[in-house]
């Protein structure tokens, strides 16, 4: 009988040790998982920030090019208007004067 009790005690001790080892292993695995998640989040945040910065620079560059194009078109339009005025202003003045006199 004593041997059976001793064997049961040994089994209980072994089972307790297995449970403690499993709990320690679980805790270790949980910590590794958390560390891996944190590392992934940090990497993803860095990549996202870098991509956003690249996109921001690209958009700013495109906006600056568009603005330069608009400025060039505006300058050309103003130059065209100035040339047309220089060429036609006397004729326009005469037409306006004639129109006012005839009324």
pLDDT at position 101: 87
Kindly state the DSSP code that residue 63 receives in the 8-state scheme: H
pLDDT at position 82: 96
> Euclidean distance between the first and final Cα of the chain, in Å?
137
The C-alpha atoms of residue 42 and residue 36 are separated, in whole angstroms, by 10
**pLDDT by 10-residue block (mean), the chain, 103 residues:** 84 92 96 97 97 98 98 98 95 90 77
pLDDT at position 103: 64
Residue with tokens 């003045």: 93
CA torsion 71-72-77-81 (nearest 10°) is 100
pLDDT at position 31: 97
């Amino acid at each position: 009988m004593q041997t059976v009790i001793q064997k049961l005690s040994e089994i209980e001790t072994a089972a307790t040790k297995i449970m403690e080892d499993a709990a320690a292993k679980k805790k270790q695995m949980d910590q590794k998982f958390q560390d891996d998640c944190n590392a992934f989040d940090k990497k993803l945040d860095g990549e996202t920030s870098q991509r956003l910065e690249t996109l921001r620079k690209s958009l700013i560059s495109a906006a600056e090019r568009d603005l330069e194009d608009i400025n060039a078109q505006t300058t050309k339009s103003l130059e065209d208007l100035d040339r047309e005025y220089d060429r036609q202003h006397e004729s326009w003045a005469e037409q306006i004067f004639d129109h006012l006199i005839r009324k």
